[in-house]
Amino acid sequence: MTEEITARKKTALSGIQPSGNLTIGNYLGALSNFGSFTEEFNCYYCVVDLHSITVRQVPAELRRRTYEVLALYIACGLDPDKCTLFVQSHVHEHAELSWMLSCFTMFGELSRMTQFKDKSAKHADNINAGLFTYPVLMAADILLYQADAVPIGQDQKQHLELARDIAERFNGVFSPTFTVPEPYIPKVGANIMSLAEPTKKMSKSDANENAVVRILDTRDVIIKKFKRAVTDSDTCVRRAEGKDGINNLMTIYSCFTGKSFDEIEREFDGRGYGDFKAAVGEVCADGLAPVQARFSELMADKAYLEEVMKNGAEKASRTASKTVAKVKRKLGFVTL
């Protein structure tokens, strides 16, 4: 009976790259929503280290951040006994399925990916093939586990749509093999913008430290960064077209307090931007404080984090190997 129920439970999967210290964009757009899936879904959350090497990484930093992202998953409330937490490179099927799926992905499709265009412009000296085929690896991550739901921020929507197209194409050429995944994008917080250039997304790899608020920034730093946030020449805290900086700060305030935009406008009626920016800093620092405290405890226990990684990799491999075996059979590979 229990097995039957487990078999019918839907699957959710998501991942975060250890390509920099995580920002409140990663937190509000993705990480903070992961926990809400654990009751209803079989959840797989991975640290996608293979993805991160599409951009040059310092090996020691990549290693440290891999532990940190895993610790942040747990610090944000993900229970390793209730969901599968693992590191992508520990499950070799990700790379294997990625190759097979790349033969079902068109050059033109990959050429249209806006993240490829943005990252090529940003890293003009290193436009490598991995940067181009990144969305195929992401499709493999998702399709390996037959994920029904993929919680992501707005910037990953195009990649998710491609994963759906690849799944449908493969299912159409052969027989149904992959579950076609649905994106889960939060209503508020799916697109947190840079504090320095509010028309641009907040990214963990941004070289301008004032543009990003990191989950692990200290209270003082968080408050200082919000005080410096770029706004406009108006003085009234209200949402409007063209007020990108204020719109972004209102979104962040709303995410941390649960207040609607109307409520925020009423709360700050007659008060200036200075007051508002200070308040955003306070609620953000308050919201992150428990995560930071739990994170410090977890980072002091590397052996525990390694045990979580090991158990997670074993659990993930069991599902991933079944999918790869099925795909190989359908493709006509000889199995021994």
- Interface positions with ligand AQP (CB under 6 A): 16-17, 19-20, 23, 25-26, 29-30, 152-153, 155-156, 190-192, 201-205
Is residue 204 part of the annotated active site? The answer reads yes
In the complex, what is the shortest distance from the CB of residue 329 to ligand AQP, in angstroms, rounded to a whole number? 31
Residue type at 257 in one-letter notation: T
* Local structure of residue 181 (DSSP, 8 states): -
In the complex, what is the shortest distance from the CB of residue 8 to ligand AQP, in angstroms, rounded to a whole number? 27
Question: Measured from the CB atom, is 128 or 205 closer to ligand AQP?
Answer: 205
User: Which of 9, 157, 200, 201 is an active site residue?
Assistant: 201
Is residue 201 part of the annotated active site? The answer reads yes
Give DSSP secondary structure letters for 156-179: GHHHHHHHHHHHHHHHHHSSS-S-
In the complex, what is the shortest distance from the CB of residue 51 to ligand AQP, in angstroms, rounded to a whole number? 6
Question: Measured from the CB atom, is 192 or 249 closer to ligand AQP?
Answer: 192
Is residue 328 part of the annotated active site? The answer reads no
Question: Measured from the CB atom, is 122 or 238 closer to ligand AQP?
Answer: 122
In the complex, what is the shortest distance from the CB of residue 201 to ligand AQP, in angstroms, rounded to a whole number? 4
Measured over the CA atoms of residue 82, residue 85, residue 91 and residue 94, the dihedral's sign is positive
Q: Which residue is nearest to ligand AQP (CB)?
A: 29
Question: Measured from the CB atom, is 18 or 281 closer to ligand AQP?
Answer: 18
Question: Measured from the CB atom, is 50 or 237 closer to ligand AQP?
Answer: 50
* Local structure of residue 143 (DSSP, 8 states): H
In the complex, what is the shortest distance from the CB of residue 88 to ligand AQP, in angstroms, rounded to a whole number? 11
In angstroms, the CA 16 to CA 49 distance is 8
In the complex, what is the shortest distance from the CB of residue 132 to ligand AQP, in angstroms, rounded to a whole number? 15
In angstroms, the CA 324 to CA 109 distance is 23
Question: Measured from the CB atom, is 170 or 253 closer to ligand AQP?
Answer: 253
Contact in structure between 72 and 30 (CB atoms under 8 Å): no
In our burial notation (b when 16+ CB lie closer than 10 A, e otherwise), range 71-93 reads bbbbbbbbebeebbbbbbbbbeb
273-299 vs 244-257: helix axis angle to the nearest 10?
50
The 10 Å Cβ neighbour count of residue 212 is: 25
User: Which of 119, 225, 243, 277 is an active site residue?
Assistant: 119
Query: Would you mind telling me the total number of residues written for the chain in this entry?
Result: 336
User: Which of 122, 157, 187, 204 is an active site residue?
Assistant: 204
In our burial notation (b when 16+ CB lie closer than 10 A, e otherwise), range 101-136 reads bbebbeeeebeebebbeebeeeeeeeeeebbbbbbb
Helices and strands counted in the chain (H then E): 15, 5
Alpha helices in 76-212 (DSSP H): 93-102, 107-111, 114-122, 129-144, 157-173
Active site residues: 119, 201, 204
